[in-house]
Amino acid sequence: MPASKSSRWMIVGLLAAGLVVALMGGLHFGAKALKGRVELALGPEAEVGEIRLGFSAVEVVKLRLKAPAGWPAPDTLRAERIRIAPDVLALLSGKVGISSIVVEGAYVSALRAADGKLRVVPSLLEKEGEKKEAGKGPAVSIGAIELKDGVLEFYNAAIRKPPHRIRIEQLQAKVTDLQLPGLAAKSDLHLEGILKGVRHDGKIRVDGWMTFANKDSDIRSTLQGIDLVAFQPYLIKASEGGVKKGTLDLDAHTTVKAGHLRGPGTLTLSGVELESGGTFMGLPRAAVTSYLSKQGKISIKFVLDGKVDDPNFRLNENFSTRIAASLGDSLGLSLEGLAKGAGSLGQKSVEAGGGAAEGVGKAVKGLFK
């Protein structure tokens, strides 16, 4: 009997050792297969310091993708190191699987063109040949893509020329469960970082999920302590003057279902000091300054509403009216009174208020579209 037990344990040990060897061999085989795919995907436009084949992963070191002509930044993507690990279980089942992609020390520049189109890493994502073959390629599963200590520069040409820049540093982001090419799986999203300002920095955080194929999503977005000076092109027209200082806070919960977006939220402006003359968000600056000297802040409740697939998607007139009404109520000014006119304000103030309120709507919508 003792000999029999010893034999059993030896068999178990050999099986375990064999499983470990098979697993390690699978990892190495998967990493080797991934290396060729990475080289092919990056293409001739990329500058790469080195592509290393590790025992269980592929590492891309010192990656740089130069920007195309007319891009507002020299590069669309840089990364100190990208680690790509294969999914052994997927390989054993004959599928193409990636367990994780971890990007360290990344820099990404994104551009919203004057027509509203968002462009990110065009050399990889805007290849015409790949678009035509997108539905014919092999299925690829990616467990997670993670950015660590990255930088994002977002250029918006839809609100200003040259494009207005917003920079996010210390960026930590993660997207899970990506199934290519269909992208039909529900992916969890997380993003947080420091939004740089002229006078002070603020924080940004995004949490939720999205199904990229049909754009269904449920996302909570929070901005805290944002420098209003750096953010003012989203809120006021150039003709209205400017802001000397101030802080913006925003909390919004947006959902998209069957192509319809809805997102209630609150926008709060505090510690605002305005330049002299003109209007602020369509309202008399004197009234805004007087209110702020007493209350210290203005809170505006809003609701985003519209069809995301409509190329002419805009916040409806009811939303613009609610924004203007909320500002007017905070300042003790009724829309009816503004419409009838008071001294030199009259009808021009109402028209400016509606236009500026619509501008606020566009700005907030642009954060989540």
State pLDDT tens for residues 160-214.
Answer: 888 999 999 999 999 999 887 778 889 999 999 999 999 999 999 999 999 988 8
Give dist(CA 54, CA 35) in Å, integer: 10
Closest to 364 (Cα-Cα) out of 217, 271, 253? 253
* More confident position, 70 or 237: 70
- Supply the DSSP string of 300-349, one letter for each residue: EEEEEEEETT-TT----HHHHHHHHHHHHHHHT--HHHHHH--TT-HHHH
The predicted model gives 218-241 an average pLDDT of 84
One-letter amino acid for residue 84 of the chain: I
List, in sequence order, every residue forming a beta bridge with 32; answer none if it has no partner.
none
Distance CA 321, CA 107 (A): 39
pTM above 0.75, yes or no: no
Closest CA to 100 of 174, 188, 154, 33: 174
Winning range, highest mean pLDDT, from 44-58, 128-142, 350-364 = 44-58
Lowest mean pLDDT, pick from 149-163, 208-222, 322-336, 337-351:
337-351
Before 181, cis peptide (omega within 30)?
A: yes
pLDDT at 290 (0 to 100)? 79
Within 13 A of 362's CA, how many CA atoms are on the CB side? 20
pLDDT, average across residues 328-339: 52
365 or 279, greater pLDDT: 279
C-beta neighbour count of 165 within 10 angstroms: 15
Tokens 């592509």 -> residue: 51
At 42-72, the pLDDT tens digits run 666 778 888 777 767 788 888 888 888 889 9
276: pLDDT strictly greater than 50: yes
